[in-house]
């Protein structure tokens, strides 16, 4: 408690002065009356001393959660501005696909080339991607002075375009020397864990390789248990590491292995902080590992490009692994994403069975998924 003292010869004046300075609700503790003697005359004068309690100043309560939220918003905006965005070409909403094929956008094509473009558009292949891919299998028709297929079949034409514009990694063990670390990242629900163990099963059962699995997913209920069951079936070591130091020490103990496959927690591509946590756990090992982005074929084009944009902010993506091809009737994403982002493709998941339902992606397999055998 702090006290302020007022002095004067009129008590009421002193009280009014205190109220003026401290407000009307002042708390008077007490007052004293002293008599001052006069030097040249007999008698004395009353002098008052007023003791007033100073009001307590309420310090603002610091809400740390609110402060953190504001900081996160600021950082999110900064990150958003720095994302190297891959824009998704869009088809105008008011133009139907059949009208689009006949529009000026495709006026340079004719005959079977135009038919193939139409088929690709129906599979949600982006217009600019369809034009680019099909044109590789075309020659100039003398009669119409337009592009038409110069291959025996539309599949051959499509394959030429795929080989031209899409890069393929081949199997992960191709050309491997020494220990290879592969980390699987991607949004929730795309099947990272299941497909990681499909690949692990292939290496263990068919290639007789030494494989270890490390999971950094300590958030999802049952995730570690599911992975441990898979590992027990394959009789391979399984570890859990939720921070960088633990992950680094675990990897150092596995130097004699052929492969270390790292499973990460699924995070929304809009959640920068959580994706950043994955990067932090991987730590300095990030530079010595191969990063595989797992994306579901049933994603919309806009969503898939956004996933690449967001994850690319934190990781150098080495390849894309497509999942759930069996759950979509319009797999245009198989062309759109690798053509526009120029990121190589590696594997494709064709179902739920472990280890059967996964294949190495090749030009011919993309053609087959798009327009059949």
pLDDT digits (tens, 9 = 90+) for 194-236: 999 999 999 999 999 999 999 987 665 556 777 888 899 999 9
Residue 64, judged by CB atoms within 10 A of its CB (0-12, 13-18, 19+), counts as exposed
114 in Cβ contact with 106 (< 8 Å): yes
> What is the pLDDT averaged over residues 29-36?
72
Statement: residue 242 has pLDDT above 90: no
DSSP state letter for 14: H
Helix, coil or strand: residue 136: coil
Read off the tokens for 139: 């020659």
Q: How confident is the model at residue 368 (pLDDT cuts 50, 70, 90)?
A: very high
Q: Is the pLDDT of residue 91 over 60?
A: no
CB 200 within 8 A of CB 213: yes
| 38's tokens | 């006069």
Q: What is the pLDDT of residue 92?
A: 45
Q: How many CB atoms lie within 10 A of CB 17?
A: 15
In this predicted structure, the answer to whether residue 54 has a pLDDT above a threshold of 90 is no
Of 337, 360, 44, 7, residue with least CA distance to 162: 337
Whether the CB-CB separation of 217 and 224 falls below 8 Å is answered with: yes
* pLDDT score of 343: 97
Q: How confident is the model at residue 296 (pLDDT cuts 50, 70, 90)?
A: very high
Q: Alpha-carbon distance 253 to 186, whole Å?
A: 27
Task: Please tell me the predicted confidence (pLDDT) of residue 94.
Answer: 40
Radius of gyration of the chain from its Cα atoms, rounded to whole angstroms:
36
Using pLDDT thresholds of 50, 70 and 90, give the confidence band for residue 189.
Answer: confident
- Yes or no: say if 331 and 369 are a contact pair by the CB < 8 Å rule: yes
Strand partners, 323: 296
Q: Is the pLDDT of residue 72 over 70?
A: no
Sign (positive or negative) of CA dihedral 352, 357, 363, 364: negative
Q: Which of 53-57, 71-75, 191-195, 321-325 has the highest mean pLDDT?
A: 321-325
331-349: burial string, b at 16+ Cβ within 10 Å, e else: bbbbbbbbbbbebbbbbbb
Retrieve residue 352's tokens: 């739920």
Average pLDDT, integer, range 146-170:
96
Segment 16-20 mean pLDDT: 84
Structure letter (DSSP) for residue 286:
G
Q: Is there a contact between 190 and 294 (Cβ–Cβ < 8 Å)?
A: yes
pTM over 0.85: no
pLDDT band at 272 (very low <50, low <70, confident <90, very high): low
Contact 238, 216 (CB under 8 A): no
pLDDT at 334: 96
- Angstrom distance (rounded) from CA 214 to CA 237: 8
DSSP label of 59: P
pLDDT of residue 21: 83
Mean pLDDT score of the chain: 84
For 66, the token pair is: 């609110």
Per-residue confidence (pLDDT) for residue 87, from 0 to 100: 56
Instruction: Give the pLDDT confidence score for residue 226 in this predicted structure.
Output: 78
**Spatial separation of the C-alpha atoms in residues 129 and 198, rounded to whole Å:** 31
Burial track 150-178 (b if 16+ CB lie within 10 A, e otherwise):
ebeebbebbbbbbbebbebbeebeeeeee
Distance CA 224, CA 182 (A): 18
């Amino acid at each position: 408690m702090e006290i302020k003292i007022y002095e004067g010869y009129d008590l009421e004046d002193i009280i009014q002065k205190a109220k003026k300075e401290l407000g009307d609700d002042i708390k008077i503790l007490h007052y004293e009356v002293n008599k001052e003697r006069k030097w040249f005359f007999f008698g004395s004068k009353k002098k008052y001393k007023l003791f007033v309690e100073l009001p307590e100043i309420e310090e603002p309560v610091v809400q740390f959660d609110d402060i953190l939220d504001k900081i996160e918003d600021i950082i999110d905006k900064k990150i958003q501005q720095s994302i190297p965005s891959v824009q998704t070409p869009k088809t105008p909403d008011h133009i139907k696909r059949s009208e689009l094929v006949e529009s000026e956008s495709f006026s340079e094509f004719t005959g079977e080339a135009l038919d193939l473009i139409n088929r690709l558009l129906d599979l949600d292949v982006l217009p600019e991607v369809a034009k680019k891919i099909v044109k590789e299998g075309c020659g100039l028709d003398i009669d119409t002075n337009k592009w038409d297929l110069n291959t025996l079949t539309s599949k051959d034409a499509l394959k030429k375009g795929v080989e031209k514009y899409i890069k393929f990694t081949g199997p992960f063990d191709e050309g491997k020397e020494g220990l290879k670390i592969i980390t699987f990242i991607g949004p929730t629900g795309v099947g990272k864990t299941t497909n990681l163990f499909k690949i692990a099963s292939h290496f263990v059962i068919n290639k007789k390789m030494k494989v270890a699995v490390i999971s950094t997913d300590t958030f999802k209920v049952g995730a570690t248990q599911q992975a441990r069951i898979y590992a027990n079936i394959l009789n391979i070591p399984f570890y859990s590491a939720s921070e960088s130091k633990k992950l680094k020490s675990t990897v150092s103990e596995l130097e004699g292995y052929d492969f270390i496959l790292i499973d990460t927690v699924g995070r929304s591509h809009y959640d920068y902080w959580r994706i950043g946590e994955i990067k932090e756990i991987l730590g300095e090992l990030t530079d010595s590992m191969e990063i595989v982005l797992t994306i579901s074929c049933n994603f919309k084009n806009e969503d898939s490009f956004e996933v690449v944009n967001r994850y690319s902010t934190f990781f150098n993506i080495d390849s894309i692994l497509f999942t759930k091809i069996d759950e979509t009737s319009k797999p245009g994403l198989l062309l759109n994403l690798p053509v526009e982002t120029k990121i190589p493709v590696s594997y494709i998941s064709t179902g739920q069975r472990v280890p059967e339902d996964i294949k190495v992606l090749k030009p011919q397999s993309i053609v087959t998924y798009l327009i059949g055998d």
